[in-house]
Amino acid sequence: MTDVGPESILVRVVFAPDAGAPLPDVIRELEDVLEVMDFALFLSHGDAVRWENGGGRGQVRLTRLDHGTPVTVDIELVMSGGLGLTHADALAGVAATGTVLLTAARSGEPTEDPDDTVPTDEPVPTARQVDAVAERRVVEAMERVAYDARGTDLAWRIREAEDQNVTTADGTLGKGLRFVRAAGRLASNDGFDFRME
């Protein structure tokens, strides 16, 4: 990560879609990457720090997309309103988010847990069943990361996001639900990787 301005930090994320994936598929996955980075920004500062530093709201901006193999994106975390976000804060949020993603991706091997498999009496699992398993793995990974960070603000922010797992009456998805769905889709990709440069 490098500074690109007094109120912004640049993060490079590498993710690996299927080899030769068409650009529309890459764009859909990019939307999930941006959702995940928005969650990382939330983990980086949380509401308390935001209000202490003027109440600004951070933004996630795509600055470059390299449609190669793997796909590389440069994302700018912008601290509008004087969020007071430092490299250490951003690194903590992005690293925690990356740990959740990689933990969920690596937990995809077959398991004896009946709740972690799709029903065997159906010849082909539905897309929703596959998504539900992936999302459950993400939630379990979030809980593991929060436990490892127990006693810190980071753990509290992960728990807060986990509680935001509903859809409001106007159809707005909670922060935690948006992250879990996006992370579940990303972590289900073959060859998925997440790293900062």
Task: Enter the pTM of the model.
Answer: 0.77
Instruction: Output the pLDDT for position 83.
Output: 55
Which residues in the chain show pLDDT less than 70?
1-9, 16-19, 45-59, 78-87, 108-123, 196-197
The number of beta carbons lying within 10 Å of the beta carbon of residue 116 is 14
User: What local confidence, expressed as pLDDT, does residue 47 receive?
Assistant: 57
Alpha helices in 13-81 (DSSP H): 23-52
Residues 6+ apart with CB under 8 A from 89: 44, 45, 49
3 state DSSP class of 24: helix
How far is the C-alpha of 26 from the C-alpha of 49, rounded, in Å?
34
CB-based contacts of 33, cutoff 8 Å, min separation 6: 13, 15, 73, 75, 182, 186
Angle at 48 between CA 42 and CA 50, to 5 degrees: 60
Q: H-type helices in the chain, by residue range?
A: 23-52, 87-106, 127-148, 153-163, 175-187
Q: Encode pLDDT of 61-116 as tens digits.
A: 778 878 777 777 787 776 555 555 666 777 788 889 999 999 998 886 555 455 55
Please tell me the predicted confidence (pLDDT) of residue 58: 62
Which residue matches tokens 């590498």? 14
